[in-house]
Amino acid sequence: MEQRNIEQEYKDLINKNKVFLFMKGTADEPRCGFSFRVCNILKSLGIEFKTYNILEDIQMREGVKEFANWPTYPQLYINSEFVGGCEVVEELARNGELKKLL
């Protein structure tokens, strides 16, 4: 069995997509309230984004927490940079900073 390079997979995902969200569920079917809220913010701003359902991949779920040094999901990345979780995204959306990041 081939050994996965979780860190490389993670880097590929955030580098190939301008706006990327590691979340519970999918954009169409979020599986937690926080993921739902972040998806709604991005959609309401007309932002195109890609997602990764961390519920389907325990290795990625644990790895991403480590790489970002952030213990919870969702985790939003813009231009390969970690932005934050739900509360951070909500605050950035409220004060207009999220649109500026894009």
Say what the pLDDT of residue 102 is: 83
Tokens standing for residue 94: 């409220």
The arithmetic mean of pLDDT across residues 1-10, rounded, is: 85
Residue type, 72: T
φ/ψ of 76, rounded to 5, equals: -100, 135
pLDDT digits (tens, 9 = 90+) for 26-74: 999 999 999 999 999 999 999 999 999 999 999 999 999 999 999 999 9
Dihedral, 38, 44, 46, 52 alpha carbons, nearest 10: 20
Say what the pLDDT of residue 2 is: 65
Query: Please, which pLDDT band fits residue 1 given cuts at 50, 70 and 90?
Result: low
Q: Which residue has the higher pLDDT, 46 or 102?
A: 46
d(CA 88, CA 1): 39
d(CA 38, CA 16): 20
pLDDT at 3 exceeding the cut of 90? no
Task: For each of the domains in the chain, give its residue range(s) and CATH number, in order of start.
Answer: 6-101 (3.40.30.10)
d(CA 84, CA 95): 15
Q: Which of 11-20, 32-41, 77-86, 93-102 has the lowest mean pLDDT?
A: 93-102
Q: Tokens 């998806």 map to which residue?
A: 39
Dihedral, 9, 87, 31, 27 alpha carbons, nearest 10: -60
CA distances from residue 62 to 25, 72, 77 in whole angstroms, order as listed:
16, 10, 17
Please, what is the average pLDDT of the chain?
95
